[in-house]
Amino acid sequence: MNSRRNFLQKLGLSALAVQFSPVTGWAKNQAQVSDQPYDGPVLRVAIMGIGTYGNIVARALQASTKAKLVGVISGSPEKVKDWQSKYGIPDKNVYNYSNFENIKNNPDIDAIYVIVPNFLHKPYALRAATTGKHVICEKPLGRNAKESQDIVDGCKKAGVKLLVGYRMHFEPKNLEIISMRNAGDFGKIKYFTGNGGFRIGDPTQWRLDREKAGGGSMMDIGIYAVNGARYMVGEDPIWVTAQELPKSDTTKFKEGVDETITFQMGFPSGAVAQCLSTYGMNYVDRFLLIGERGWAELNPANGYGPLKGRTNKGELKAVSPPMQQTVQMDEMAGILLEGKTPVVAVDGEEAIKDSKIIDAVYEAVKTGKKVLLKLS
């Protein structure tokens, strides 16, 4: 495993292997799902960016009930032709990065899903907002809290809804743990640990370019621990401390590109979190929540494939979907078209909080001091 792509492929192998399996097969195991075919509104999506993750979302949309892939925005004509063949996208719904504002005149597209490198999130999300279509943007929303705030403000000004690609907020095992915590099964929460990472490969990729990524591992894999700590503990942190480990390769991990950071967060209730974000170690993918009367663990915690989880009461009962992104898009369609409220927020305000925490982590690394947080 020597690249992000290999990392994603390995963690997502089970999901991708069943990408064409009907999600209804999974859904029939869920007691709340009706046997009646869906007959409600469908979110018609244009994907911007057809790299590795864009392709995963496209495949997931094939099995979606409430969302459908209808358009594509890309600067790669040959790839676009392949997408048109695979997904039946008509010529009138094909755009490039120079003309995609013309989507405002296309009544067959409801939302634009921005899946491009971090440094393009702000300019492209703001341009997408001017089309009058809803905007879904991958995380992190911006390279820092200011960029994230600018995107939120731009979408509000344009009068469009903004969602962020927090797929784990809809993942059944995560939601089962949150439900158990809310029911008091674990008692008062005392501790959380969130570890994520892999050995990154190609040194020329944009994720190892500070200007394009906004940092290093914290901007890519660290955000899972930042966000996971918040929804697992059920609070927003009030302080952060952090330490950067010595770099194994200063050519690959240049100034401003972190390889490994450990960071700690404190919460109003007194709970604490200890987290790790790394581009230097494989097999790092675990959440652990500990309360006064019980505990819950996810291992793996963030991969695309089925997650594994248990608590002090035994194995988690929730069934993992074939593709997390299918559930994500179904649920996002419900939010955008029907006004549904998710268990864990996936809006721009949620993303701003994560960006503020990541900014504070970098500040704590630089200063060696505890950084106080004000997230609301």
Q: Tokens 């892999």 sit at which residue?
A: 198
Does 366 score more than 90 pLDDT? Answer: yes
| CATH code (residue 312) | 3.30.360.10
**Domain housing 303:** 168-321+348-372
| Residues 163 and 173 placed together within one structural domain of the fold | no
Out of 5-9, 59-63, 346-350, 352-356, least confident range: 5-9
Mode of pairing for the β-strands spanning 272-278 and 189-197: parallel
Q: Tokens 């929303």 sit at which residue?
A: 141
Q: Tokens 């890519």 sit at which residue?
A: 220
| Residues 145 and 187 placed together within one structural domain of the fold | no
- 279 catalytic? Reply is no
* pTM across the whole model: 0.92
Residue of 139, 247, 353, 356 with catalytic role: 139
| Residues 159 and 30 placed together within one structural domain of the fold | yes
Distance CA 301, CA 311 (A): 14
Q: Please report the pLDDT score of residue 13 as a whole number.
A: 40
**CA of 195: how far to CAs of 44, 230, 355, in Å?**
35, 14, 18
Between CA 272 and CA 281, with CA 278 as vertex, the angle to 5 degrees is: 120
Q: Please indicate, yes or no, if residue 255 is contained in any of the structural domains.
A: yes
Q: Please indicate, yes or no, if residue 121 is contained in any of the structural domains.
A: yes
Instruction: Judge contact between 287 and 181, C-beta under 8 A.
Output: no
- Looking at 167, 198, 231, the residue that finishes a domain is 167
Out of 101-105, 113-117, 276-280, 304-308, least confident range: 304-308
Average pLDDT of the residues in 295-299: 98
What is the percent of the chain with per-residue pLDDT over 70, rounded to a whole number?
A: 91
Q: Please indicate, yes or no, if residue 336 is contained in any of the structural domains.
A: no
CA dihedral 148, 150, 151, 154 (to 10 degrees): 160
For the chain, what is the mean pLDDT? 93
Out of 31-40, 95-104, 208-217, 232-241, least confident range: 31-40
| CATH code (residue 55) | 3.40.50.720
Q: Please indicate, yes or no, if residue 339 is contained in any of the structural domains.
A: no
How many independent structural domains does the chain possess?
Answer: 2
Q: Which of 165, 206, 175 is nearest to 60 (CA)?
A: 165
Does 298 score more than 90 pLDDT? Answer: yes
Does 23 score more than 60 pLDDT? Answer: no
Helices (H), the chain: 4-11, 13-17, 23-27, 52-62, 77-87, 121-129, 145-158, 172-182, 210-213, 217, 223-233, 324-338, 348-367
| Residues 54 and 119 placed together within one structural domain of the fold | yes
Work out the pLDDT band at 1, boundaries 50, 70, 90. very low
Q: Please report the pLDDT score of residue 37 as a whole number.
A: 87
- 224 catalytic? Reply is yes
Residue of 113, 166, 224, 304 with catalytic role: 224
Q: Please indicate, yes or no, if residue 333 is contained in any of the structural domains.
A: no
| Residues 137 and 172 placed together within one structural domain of the fold | no
Q: Please report the pLDDT score of residue 2 as a whole number.
A: 43
Q: For 125-159, what is each residue's pLDDT tens digit?
A: 999 999 999 999 999 999 999 999 999 999 999 99
